[in-house]
Structure 1
């Protein structure tokens, strides 16, 4: 059985925190791959600040140097709001020989009681929680915890820096930073 980690999100933009979480969980749980699944529109947010195509392109650039990282665009292809339950059911149907681990930050661990069909989802997949600054991993749900080096980076903080034309070196991979600059993303937003 292939062991695969799932890391979903808006990735607006993808940053080194995303990559660190994925790699640390992969190593800790001895996963064979991490699948990054960017959402078209997350159910808990209004909409992304950047087009789905730009976010997909940035994510491809961010993960291409790690052979264990794969891009899965199923939620983007679905368009509209995506619920994790639908994604997990589809993945399990398409890949019955895989064991999936759904990676979430402590901010999402705190939000779990509000997730769509959370009880059913807990029966379908093992959740893996990682620490995030300002949040706790306290929950009544059966979450597997993985300790990671704590880096206080968020996409919203990064977008703020980019809007002010502050440097983002060592926050995003160089290829992603070049893409952002070439496309003039996050300016005047």
Structure 2
């Protein structure tokens, strides 16, 4: 049985922190592969700043030298009304029925689930395992203990909580803002992606 992590995000653009996070998770959780899952521009809860095609192209450039990193555009192909993490995880469980498939997310998303902001949250939590990365100011243990949904499924293996041990919170938003204002975020994203952004005039 293999171990697979599903890493969903906008990746608008993909940053070095995204890659470092995926690498850290793969190492500490002994994952055989990390599947990068860019969200669709059709989602009504996301306001993206460039096209699906550009984000896919940058992800391919970013992960080409890591044999554990894979790209999947599953959510991009779905109709906007049918894009829910519960359904997405059902899809990956059907593809990898003999493997342990976990959803990788930040502690901020764990808080959102605890607050009832996600559709199909009961089904999502009851049928999946989660790798949760620390975020500044969020106590992951308290988030779980305060939520009836989360704590009642916390069997010791449901949530793998990871404190990164290093404060790296540079976001895609920061990079876009820098580019939009004539800043220089060159070393915050992979060099090939930086060159791609400049070549195509993205985020200007």
TM-score computed with the length of structure 1 as normaliser? 0.92
Root-mean-square deviation (Å) = 1.6
Contact 2:44/2:80, CA 8 A, preserved across alignment: no
Stretches of structure 1 that go unaligned for 5 or more consecutive residues are none
Contact 1:35/1:69, CA 8 A, preserved across alignment: yes
The aligned counterpart of 2:143 is 139
Stretches of structure 2 that go unaligned for 5 or more consecutive residues are 145-149
Instruction: Give the 5 Å matches for 1:17-56.
Output: 17-41=17-41, 45-56=45-56
What do residues 8-58 of structure 1 show as CA deviations (whole Å, max 9, x unaligned)?
011101001111111111110101000001010485734311100101111
Instruction: Give the 5 Å matches for 1:1-189.
Output: 1-41=1-41, 45-80=45-80, 82-112=83-113, 113-137=116-140, 138-140=142-144, 141=150, 142=154, 143-148=159-164, 149-187=166-204
Q: Distance in 2 between matches of 1:42 and 1:152?
A: 26
Moved more, 55-64 or 140-149: 140-149
In structure 2, do the counterparts of structure 1 residues 53 and 103 end up closer, same or farther at CA, with 3 Å as the change threshold?
A: same
Q: Rg bigger for which structure?
A: 2
Q: CA deviation at 1:120?
A: 0.6
In structure 2, do the counterparts of structure 1 residues 44 and 130 end up closer, same or farther at CA, with 3 Å as the change threshold?
A: farther
Contact 1:105/1:130, CA 8 A, preserved across alignment: yes
Q: Distance in 1 between matches of 2:89 and 2:134?
A: 23
Could you say what secondary structure the match of 1:4 adopts?
Answer: strand
What do residues 137-166 of structure 1 show as CA deviations (whole Å, max 9, x unaligned)?
242224320121220211111110110121
Could you say what secondary structure the match of 2:80 adopts?
Answer: coil
TM-score computed with the length of structure 2 as normaliser? 0.86
